[in-house]
Structure formats: C-alpha cells, structure tokens
Amino acid sequence: MRAYDVDLRRRGLIGAACAALIAPRIRAGTPDRFRIFDGLLHRGKPDLTRAGLESIGLLAAIWRPHIARDELDEPGVLAAIEHLPPGSRTIYVDIEQWPLFPVDTATRDSSLSKLVRVAELVRRQRPELKFGFYGAPPVCVYWPIMRRDDSYRRWLATDRVIAPLAQHVDYIFPSLYTFYDDRDGWLRFAAAQLDEARRYGKSVYPFLLYEYTNGNPLLDGYEIPADAWEEELRFCRAHADGVVLWGGSGRGWSESAPWWQVTRKVFHLPEVY
C-alpha cells in the first residue's frame, strides 16, 4: 500500500503522535513574519512578488573554466558575486562539490575551511546581502535519521564541528526535499533537520520541492500528492520561519497546477494573473 493511501484516520493519529514527539525539540516558527522565497525556475513564470513571495538569488558558478571543482577559486568567487542580479537582497550559496559528511576528517575540515572563506568573500564584497548555504549546516541526510545508529551519531557530531560556518551567515537553508513515498518518514526527517537547524540561532528557511527529488530515480520527476505537499507546507509553516520554494526546471508555469493551488491555499496567496 502506498503511504498516501493509508486511511486518513490512521494518518491523523500518526500525525498527532509525530507532533507530540517533535514539539519539545523544535520551537514554533514565526507565523506573523513567515517568509516565502521564490526559487522557482519555470518558463513563463509570472512575477510572484505580486503574490507576496520574495526574490532570492543564487551563487553557484564560482569557478573559472580551467579550475577544478574541488579547489577554492577566489577570483572565480569574486566574479560570481559581481554577476549577481542587480538589486539582490537575499541569496543562497549552493556548493555541493565540497563534502562534509560522510567523509574523513581531513576532507571535512578542508571543505569547511573553503566554505567559510566563500562566506567571508561574500560578506566583504556585498556586506548588505543576507545569505546562507543551501543544505549546510545542518548537512542533509535521510537514512541516518531513520536508523538512529552510529551514522546518526556521526551526523550529529559533524553538525557540531561545522557549527562555525553558521556564524558567518545570516540564514540557515536546510534541504527538506522528499526522497520517498513515506509521509511519516518525511516528518521524522524534517523534524530532525529543523531541530539541528535551530541550534545555530539563525532564521531557518528550508528548501521545499513539490516533486520527489532526483535522489530517488524511481520517483524522480513525479509530483508529490497534493495532500502530502499540503502536509509538508503546514509542517514548515508551524516550525520554520519561512520556506524557499524550488523546482520547475524545464517546465512551463501553470497557475492551475495542483501543487501551486495547494501552496496558495496554505499560505493564503492571491492569484498573480
């Protein structure tokens, strides 16, 4: 039986139990100041600031053509900062080539050092920007959270080691993408990620994707069922300070898309046409 076909009464009982388990650990968000960032990539997307979303920029292409991706290319970073869209106020830095977990200590420490240096360069060049790193800290993991074994304890330890990175940023951008057709698993995963994210004392804006992530090739490209997407949005509404909506690469915009209609309902957004 697929997870989203489970009897709704049972889902309600499980949801209540999950809420009881996570409530002592992750504090509530700030509903009066809940922010929704537009990281969507659809063709023909309208101006979503008219619906109340905020623009967010991306810093990712930080290497010149001849530089290996495992190296820190400071001139490349500076050039990328200079090419940010005019008027950028909030950005996220997406560098997934420098692993933090699960890797050996030397690799982790090297990655951390390079990420900190990128943060220093952004702060120096554009001190007015508010920014954070996509997916770290905390490092995005799924199965260690599910298993609660030695890998889980190593993940927690890694997040303590990389905590200094959080002191160089304004916002924490954990990744809460959906890997599996398991709504209770997603709740456990999201609760643990937000619990860790709260430890850094910064505003927390998780990334959400209305499709299953390409980390799972069996479901890659399929949209999350509308009721599951609504559950994810409401969970973040209750426990985060906002969300970054992401996705849509290679797709055209549709105002009537189920995921967007659910998003409008949960966040009380107006039509944009």
Residue by residue, pLDDT tens for the chain (273 residues) are 333 333 333 344 334 334 434 443 555 555 568 999 999 999 999 999 999 999 999 999 999 999 999 999 999 999 999 999 888 999 999 999 999 999 999 999 999 999 999 999 999 999 999 999 999 999 999 999 999 999 999 999 999 999 999 999 999 999 999 999 999 999 999 999 999 999 999 999 999 999 998 777 888 778 999 999 999 999 999 999 999 999 998 899 999 999 999 999 999 999 887
Cβ atoms 169, 204 nearer than 8 A: no
Alpha-carbon distance 134 to 154, whole Å? 21
Q: How many domains does the chain have?
A: 1
Instruction: Residue 72: give the domain boundaries.
Output: 55-227
* Residue 42 within any structural domain of the chain: no
* Residue 40 within any structural domain of the chain: no
Cβ atoms 205, 215 nearer than 8 A: no
CATH number at residue 148: 3.20.20.70
Find all residues with CB under 8 Å of 51, minimum gap 6, and list them: 264, 269, 270, 271, 272
* Residue 6 within any structural domain of the chain: no
Model pLDDT, residue 29: 52
List the structure tokens of 101.
């977990």
Q: What DSSP designation does 133 have?
A: E
Find all residues with CB under 8 Å of 221, minimum gap 6, and list them: 211, 212, 214
Strand ranges, E, within the chain: 35-40, 54-55, 57-59, 90-93, 130-133, 171-172, 203-204, 207-209, 242-247
* Residue 133 within any structural domain of the chain: yes
Model pLDDT, residue 76: 98
* Residue 71 within any structural domain of the chain: yes
* Residue 158 within any structural domain of the chain: yes
* Residue 163 within any structural domain of the chain: yes
Model pLDDT, residue 13: 36
* Residue 16 within any structural domain of the chain: no
Cβ atoms 244, 173 nearer than 8 A: yes
The SS3 assignment for 245 reads strand
